[in-house]
Amino acid sequence: MKAVNGAADGTIRHHPSEETLVSYAVGGLGPAAGIAVKAHLLYCRHCRATTALAVAAGGLLLLDLPPSPLAPGALQQTLDRLGGTKAAQMRETPAQPARLRPPGAAAALSWLGLPAPRLRWVSPGVRVAVLLRESGGAQGGKALLLLRVRPGVALPTHGHAGTERTCVLEGAFADEGGRYGIGDLAEAEGGYNHRPVAEGPADCVCLIATSGRTHFAGTLGKLVGAWLKI
């Protein structure tokens, strides 16, 4: 996977936790969260190295395990699973043209194997598309969203029943946790409430992976959440 500069000075300031990177490396993240992390890896050389180490360490651990016979049909079941949504997460990312540093959202989506979505207005200055929806448990469904927000526009204050992972593809936003530019990945754990605001001269475009219900404050926010079913 070839390096792509993130922030204007080439610095990525916000990264996934090591736990998240290890989970990604061993296939422990769901498709939505895996794609959000993979988007960050397009930009971050440091996290790509950490992920490679985790993969190598996992391989060494497997070599130390005693061999055991596969259950009947285990190989075919694994191949079938890899043919589904997991394949998009695990597929190697094509090399990026060197002139695109950083790439626009359309190029990043293409490299991630995602189709160009049709964005819908959900409130003034905010457009969104649901790219992927997973079946969920008691906390609600898991989803991958693409969000485009005009500069200066704030999203409704909201919290999360699970973890929200946001990777910036264009522009920037700020919330109570800091400022996030291109390539940065924000991880908001359950119980964290924030009010993101798009910053800078251009629209902010983000990939957002949710792992549980999003709890919006205010009437408009609740209507948006109910319409998106997140």
* ∠ Cα 194 23 36 (to 5°): 50
Total residues belonging to the chain = 230
- Rg of the chain (C-alpha set): 18
Q: What are the tokens at 202?
A: 């251009």
Q: How many domains does the chain have?
A: 1
How far, in Å, CA of 57 to CA of 7, rounded? 30
CB atoms within 10 A of CB 76: 9
DSSP state of 93: P
Q: Would you say the C-alpha torsion 122, 126, 130, 134 has a positive or negative sign? A: negative
Mean pLDDT confidence for 142-149:
93
CATH number, domain with residue 26: 2.60.120.10
How far, in Å, CA of 63 to CA of 55, rounded? 13
Mean pLDDT confidence for 13-25:
92
- Per-residue pLDDT at 115: 84
φ, ψ for residue 190, nearest 5 deg: -55, 135
Residue 196 contacts residue 164 (beta carbons within 8 Å): no
Global pTM value: 0.74
What DSSP letter does each residue of 104-154 carry, written as one string?
PHHHHHHHTT-PPP--EEEETTEEEEEEEEEEEETTEEEEEEEEEE-TT-B
- Per-residue pLDDT at 76: 53
Q: Which domain holds residue 98?
A: 1-230
- Per-residue pLDDT at 193: 85
Strands (E), 157-230: 158-160, 164-170, 172-175, 178-180, 185-188, 197-199, 204-210, 214-216
CB atoms within 10 A of CB 86: 15
pLDDT band of residue 13 (cuts 50, 70, 90) is very high
Percent of the chain at pLDDT exceeding 90: 36
Residue 62 CB contacts under 8 Å (≥ 6 apart), including other chains: none
- Per-residue pLDDT at 75: 45
pLDDT tens digits, residue range 161-215? 788 999 999 999 999 889 999 999 999 887 778 899 999 899 999 999 988 776 7
Query: What is the four-CA torsion angle of 31, 37, 43, 44, rounded to 10 degrees?
Result: -140
- Per-residue pLDDT at 140: 58
Is the pLDDT higher at 41 or at 216? 41
Is the pLDDT higher at 86 or at 39? 39
pLDDT tens digits, residue range 60-104? 444 444 555 545 654 455 445 544 444 333 334 434 433 335 568
